[in-house]
Amino acid sequence: MELDLVIQIWLASLFTIWIYSIAFRDNDFFKFAEYTFVGAAAGHSLVYGVDNLRRYGWDNLMGGAYLYIVVFLLGILLYSRYHPQYFWVSRYPLSIMVGIGIGLSMRAVVTAEFIAQIKSTAGIKLIGVSDPITLLSNLIFIILVVTTVYFFLFTFPKSHEGGLSIIPRIARYGMMAAFSYSFANTVLSRYNMIFGRLDYIYNQWLPLPGAIIALPVALILLIYAMLPPEKRPWPKKQ
């Protein structure tokens, strides 16, 4: 195995252990790993930022697309926000960016997120469905769509009172069930991530020479770092 890959696996494994140690208690190894990650991520973004300038801006400008001068100027104007007197100038490039973003989203958002969804919901059938499970599922779906839309009618306070209060209550149960589904899926995601890292340590790092000795050493040092200073066996406080 190449040396750079070996170093990469050692660092990745140790940083994984240090980062996950926060689950047990805060310690200096975790802080070191956290700060290193933040620094590395910032450096990575900076390098990519410069590369993007070259790839999408400078190369095109040098290729004869002189309109890119406007783009560069707008980009530079963004930094005027750090000047106490001329910070307002940065609002112009920012407004162009926001305008383009909203324009791009809006050209499809009505079709993609309103019409298609409403059509899909309106197309749910209750009559002519032979499978009882599908029929029940469709019925629950329709009830929950109607009640949940009703739940958010805040303009008429009386619509949530008296006998009508059953409607928002049904909606609340439905939404709680949906949130539970999301939360259960979140647990699944997190467990998958932990498994991925543990699998990496077990299958990539531990087979390397010295790793099987380094693991208990790293764990002992971690436990030591988690202890409050007055409980540490060494160095003894004067």
Partner 1 sequence: MSGQGKSIWDTLGDIPREVLYGVLLVVFVIPMIYPLGLPVPISANVLKWYKAVEDLPPGAVVMIDFGYSGGGEPELGPMAVAVYHHMLRRGDIKVICMSTSIEGPQLWDKAMAELRPEQRYGAVYGVDYINIGYIAGGETAMAAVGKDLRATTSTDYKGTPLDQYSIMDGIVDAHSFDLLICYTTGGDQSEGWVRQWYTVYGTPYMCSVLAMMVPTMLPYMNAGQIISVTSGAQAGEMEGLVHVPARGIKSADVITLTHMLCVVYVVIGNVAYIAKKFQGGSK
95 binds partner 1 (CB under 8 A): no
User: Per residue, what are the HEC states of 27-92?
Assistant: CHHHHHHHHHHHHHHHHHHHHHHHHHHHHHHHHHHHCCCCCHHHHHHHHHHHHHHHCCCCHHHHHH
Task: Report the Cα–Cα distance between both ends of the chain, in Å, rounded.
Answer: 48
Q: How far is the CB of 84 from partner 1 (least distance, A)?
A: 30
Q: Which of 1, 23, 67, 213 binds partner 1 (CB under 8 A)?
A: 23
Q: 198 near 171, Cβ under 8 Å?
A: no
111 binds partner 1 (CB under 8 A): yes
Q: For the window 34-73, what string marks contact with partner 1 as x by the rule CB under 8 A?
A: ----------xx--x---x--xx--x--------------
Place of tokens 């390397």: 208
Cα separation, 224 vs 232, in Å, equals: 7
26 binds partner 1 (CB under 8 A): no
79 binds partner 1 (CB under 8 A): no
**Residues in region 171-200 near partner 1 by CB under 8 A:** 178, 181-182, 185-189, 191-200
127 binds partner 1 (CB under 8 A): no
101 binds partner 1 (CB under 8 A): yes
